[in-house]
Structure 1
């Protein structure tokens, strides 16, 4: 993947809203699962998996 400033249309960005919406929806759903799991972990387990 090229850096933003190396794209031929820099700085005139374009994106596909439908494709982005699908990716955003997937991300939000998966992050909700992670948050739900983390809330049910005990303190010892949470300390072991979440870097501080």
Structure 2
């Protein structure tokens, strides 16, 4: 996990938390479809940067 992702996770409940704008279900869907291999918080960072 990148340092930025770690900081974000700490702000929103830790590794089991969820960002209010990026549901875990969105990330899980992309993992199931092999559209991403990154962890949830790194995925959140990517989505927020788009």
TM-score, normalised to structure 1, is 0.28
Q: Which has the higher contact order (CA 8 A, sep 6+)?
A: 2
TM-score, normalised to structure 2, is 0.29
Larger Rg: 1
